[in-house]
Amino acid sequence: MDDKASFVISFLEVSGIFAPIAFIAFHTFRQFLFVPVVVVCLAGGLLFGTVFGSIFSLVGLTFSSLMFYFILKMFPRVHKKLFEIKRKWFGPYSNFTSGQVAVLKLIPFMHYQLLCFCLMERQKSFSEYAFASFMTNIPVVIFYTVFGQFFKQFSPSMAIIVLIALSVLIVVLREKVVVIKWKDFFKATI
């Protein structure tokens, strides 16, 4: 992970005045390079400081989410594949709220695009998805830009406490009603 962070930092240091534009573009296309969100947000905090790093990361992540939306609309097979992955990981009746997606994005090993897919299923129109995506990106950007540099200094017990706190937030922010289709409820067992 340190190799990826040093690559991002060295790439942006040579960009000069175009560094913010290069950083936002890198954030947007990071999903195709398999670079974790955490690494890029941390690099933004180190390069641009807390305020500008957060702003540039928020813009880049939002563009990334919007690009993901259009990619799924263009390639229905990818949409179907992500639906199957979602069913496998979270169960057939999971329907995450925007608050839950925001908290799940804070967990470093969660699949960012899968969480965007969960958000996309919940929001029916593009404008609702764009707004929800922007709002759910705010916590992850602020957390990893501000506290990301201190996270690797945490002791293992402190990291476990943070993950437990995030798990409690997921339960508290869950949707309280589950709708099961009639045919699924009375499915005949063979």
Task: Say how far apart CA 134 and CA 140 lie, in whole Å.
Answer: 11
Q: What's the pLDDT score for residue 134?
A: 94
What the block records as the tokens of 118 is 């969960």
**What's the predicted TM-score (pTM) here?**
0.71
* Helices 98-106 and 156-172, packing angle to 10 deg: 170
Task: Say how far apart CA 30 and CA 137 lie, in whole Å.
Answer: 15
Task: Say how far apart CA 45 and CA 107 lie, in whole Å.
Answer: 18
- The CB density around residue 114, as the number of other CB atoms within 10 Å, is 15
Alpha helices in 19-125 (DSSP H): 19-33, 37-74, 76-90, 98-106, 112-122
At residue 108, the 3 state secondary structure works out as: coil
pLDDT in tens, the chain (190 residues): 566 667 666 765 666 678 888 888 988 888 888 788 877 887 787 778 788 888 999 999 999 999 999 998 899 898 888 888 888 888 777 788 888 888 888 887 788 888 888 888 888 889 999 999 999 999 989 888 877 556 556 677 876 787 677 677 766 766 666 666 767 666 655 5
